[in-house]
Amino acid sequence: MQNATLARVEMDEQALIDPLHYAMASRDADVMLLVNEALDAGRARLAFHPIVTADAEPRVAFYEGLVRLMDDAGRIIPAAHFMPLVDETGMGRQIDCATLDLALKFLRQNPSVRLSVNVSARSIGDGEWRRILDAGLLHRNDLGDRLIFEISETSAMMLHENVIRFMAEMQPKGVGFALDGFGAGMTAFRYLKDFFFDLVKIDKSFIRGIESDPDNQVLAEALITVAHQFEMFAVADGVETAAEAAFLRQVGVDCLQGYYFGVPKFDL
């Protein structure tokens, strides 16, 4: 709370210099206060987004668990307003801890479901996050075999040695790994052979309107080819139309995710 007070004083001083900067900083501070209160009160939930096979009759392969933080009135705090601000902060670690705890509880209660959750490479070295994970993996019912960690390209490459060690440690426990935002970040292809990713999620920027965009077609096909060369499944993220899904099936994508196949829901 002391930090929040200091931040408010600094913003009041800044308001005299740059009103626009003050307005933006004030908005961010208010959102961060809501996020902090939601975490302290345990107001975090998972919304489940289906990832389906690319078959003619799609089947759910697994779900992505997306964390949602709620204010005291039960309204969702938009993730876009705070996630870019917290990744490298202690609050980012708190969010990853809350997400993992919810995911492990869900997997214990739903033994037939596979679930992926996002994690920052910074969190895998966090003591509290590791305690939650290690305790969860002690549970029977093959829980590790049904857990997938999604790590963004940028995050993986920033701390690639830590990520590689963590992957090697988790492999015997059955935990899977997905490279999120494949193609849009900073992954050097020469490093792919050093990681233990089971699947890649092709960035949605390459998927939008792909049926009529020659550039996206070439890029997506190349990314699918790279994934298969390294024995990884290729998931197309951000599929919103039947035409996009049809084209992606033709070029050999393995799974599809996007609003065309369903929106994230709190209940399966």
What is the per-residue pLDDT across 27-51, written as a single tens digit (0 to 9) for each? 556 888 899 999 999 999 999 999 9
Helices and strands: H and E segment counts in the chain: 9, 8
| Predicted pLDDT at 84 | 78
Backbone angle region of 264, left / alpha / beta, with phi > 0 → left and psi within -120 to 50 → alpha: beta
> Residue 124 and residue 151: Cα distance in Å, rounded?
10
Query: Strands 199-202, 44-53: parallel, antiparallel or unpaired by DSSP?
Result: unpaired
Looking at the chain, the whole-number percentage of residues with pLDDT higher than 90 is 72
Q: What is the pLDDT of residue 186?
A: 59
Find, among 135, 187, 130, the residue nearest to 158 by Cα: 187
Q: Report, as an integer, the average pLDDT of 214-240.
A: 96
**Reported confidence tier of residue 79, pLDDT bands at 50, 70, 90:** confident
Q: Given this model, what pLDDT does residue 238 score?
A: 97
- Reported as a single tens digit per residue, the pLDDT across 247-256 is 999 999 999 9
**Beta strand pairing status for 60-69 and 233-236?**
unpaired
The whole-angstrom separation of Cα 118 and Cα 126 is 15
Residue 184, token pair as written in the block: 């849009």
Predicted confidence (pLDDT) per residue in 141-186, tens digit = 789 999 999 999 888 888 889 999 999 999 999 999 999 999 887 5
Closest CA to 238 of 199, 208, 200: 208
Q: Which residues contact 18 (CB under 8 A, 6 or more apart)?
A: none
Q: CA–CA separation, 73 vs 95, rounded Å?
A: 20
Rounded to an integer, the average pLDDT of 106-123 is: 95
